[in-house]
Amino acid sequence: MLPFILGIESSCDDTSAAVVEGTIVRSNVTANQEIHSDFGGVVPELASRAHQQNIIPVIEAAIQRANIRKNQLSAVAYTQGPGLLGSLLVGASFAKSLALGLQIPLIESDHMQAHILAHFLQRPGHPHTPPSFPFLCLTVSGGHTQIVLVRDYFDMEILGQTIDDAAGETFDKAAKILGLPYPGGPAIDKLASEGDPARFSFAKPTIPGLDYSFSGLKTSILYFIRDELKKDPGFIDKNKADLCASIQATIVEILMGKLRAAMTSPQSSVLSPQSSIHNHHGSTAPLHQSLVTGHRLPDVAIAGGVSANSGFRKALSEIGKKEGWNIFIPPFEYTTDNAAMIAVTGYFKFLKGEFSDQSGTPYARSRW
Ligand code: KG4
Ligand code: ZN
């Protein structure tokens, strides 16, 4: 019999609880906090209060929808960090009390690892094959942009990451400039589908290596729109769809550029045993070599809130076909923050017997 693990996620503005049975999602309930939409970003104080209000009903609903009783739970997993401390404390305190009350193990989950491990979640009635180790994952969220070499469930190495702002933050800031509500990513995504992605161009970073930078792009969008508004106060309204499409295309291009570079970096050679062999065009050719020799193709995944973006998903599928990568894109409900990913991370730790005591403290910044 597989254990039932309750996951609790409260790192930012979503209060979420989920029950998994092994890797199978039995329930996944999220209360979004509408309150932040008027402020153009998450207000930490309001987020903590909303978590306090939401946490009991959300956990009750998760247990009820899983069709189990509390005493059937084998462990409680919670997000320890990174995230907003006040928000994390709500989930952490509740998880600790519940584990203590039920006399079951307590498990700490790292939010960024959990985004990646969401690929191992199984939805009843939707059989799927998760990526095989080792694989590369581009995790893109509101606070992080990381290219991660995933050797095993908890053996992950960051090959590159943003040196300033995250891609999700750039979507959110751009949306704010355009007068769209928070979170800006989904709003830009929707409007972008009606616009011309080649209409406007913005500054792209030129930093070396596998790291990202988005602050220059943010400034470029801000200054461009400010200047255009001086000439025509109706500029945004007249060009909203094209602006969204062009901003989205620029962010996706930046994301893809470094992902492609990461796939040809020496660290990624573990993904495809033949990747260093050159084909007759003179380029490295994991696809050709893998097919010819029977080696598996390299597995490449995306994760995090921005992996919900339709332009990003499409670009990855196209590049995957072209370059010969096996592409893994999470179902929508496991891209943005959710507790199912925390619960499944808890399950993999449960298998290792990696439990925590009551003394664990939340952390704001990534521990990697
Ligand atoms: O992973 P996530 O839910 O929370 C963090 O861990 O930060 O990511 C939230 C981010 C926000 O910046 C939001 O605008 C972005 O993900 N996002 C999107 C889309 N859906 C959410 N960005 C672009 N297109 C989307 N469809
Ligand atoms: Zn997240």
Digit-coded pLDDT (tens) for 134-188? 999 999 999 999 999 999 999 999 999 999 999 999 999 999 999 999 999 999 9
pLDDT at 204 over 60: yes
pLDDT at 277 over 90: no
Task: Read off the pLDDT of residues 294-318 as tens digits, 9 standing for 90 and up.
Answer: 456 799 999 999 999 999 999 999 9
Which atom of ligand 1 sits closest to the CA of residue 167? 12
pTM: 0.93
Cβ atoms of 331 and 318 closer than 8 Å = no
Confidence at residue 273, expressed as pLDDT on a 0 to 100 scale: 56
At the top level of CATH, which class does the domain 135-330 belong to? alpha beta
- The reply to whether domains 4-123+333-352 and 135-330 share a CATH topology is yes
Nearest CA to ligand 1 atom 8: 305
Distance (Å, whole) CA 228 – CA 125: 51
Nearest CA to ligand 1 atom 22: 185
What distances in angstroms separate CA 40 from CA 65, 233, 236, 244, one per listed residue? 33, 21, 17, 17
Which residue out of 252, 306, 314 has the highest number of ligand 1 atoms within 8 Å of its CB and is therefore the one to mutate? 306
Which atom of ligand 1 sits closest to the CA of residue 11? 6
Domain ranges of the chain: 4-123+333-352, 135-330
Cα 245–Cα 247–Cα 250 angle in degrees, nearest 5:
105
Ligand 1 in contact with 168 (CB < 6 A)? yes
Task: Read off the pLDDT of residues 69-128 as tens digits, 9 standing for 90 and up.
Answer: 999 999 999 999 999 999 999 999 999 999 999 999 999 999 999 999 999 999 998 988
Q: Which-ligand-closest: CA of 185?
A: 1
Name the architecture of domain 4-123+333-352: 2-Layer Sandwich (3.30)
Distance (Å, whole) CA 68 – CA 254: 45
Distance (Å, whole) CA 357 – CA 168: 34
> How many A from CA of 311 to the centre of ligand 1?
13
pLDDT at 283 over 50: no
Cβ atoms of 240 and 192 closer than 8 Å = no
> How many A from CA of 115 to the centre of ligand 2?
7
Confidence at residue 295, expressed as pLDDT on a 0 to 100 scale: 56
**Is residue 308 classed exposed, middle or buried when 0-12, 13-18 and 19+ CB atoms within 10 A define those classes?**
buried
> How many A from CA of 279 to the centre of ligand 2?
39
Of the pLDDT bands very low, low, confident and very high (cuts 50, 70, 90), residue 259 is very high
Ligand 1 in contact with 82 (CB < 6 A)? no
Token code pair at residue 349? 């730790």
Q: What mean pLDDT value characterizes the chain?
A: 92
Task: Read off the pLDDT of residues 313-353 as tens digits, 9 standing for 90 and up.
Answer: 999 999 999 999 999 999 999 999 999 999 999 999 999 99
Q: Count how many Cα atoms sit within 13 Å of the Cα of residue 65 in the half-sphere of its side chain.
A: 17
Mean pLDDT of 359-364: 95
Of the pLDDT bands very low, low, confident and very high (cuts 50, 70, 90), residue 282 is very low
Q: Which of 23, 17, 107 is nearest to 65 (CA)?
A: 17
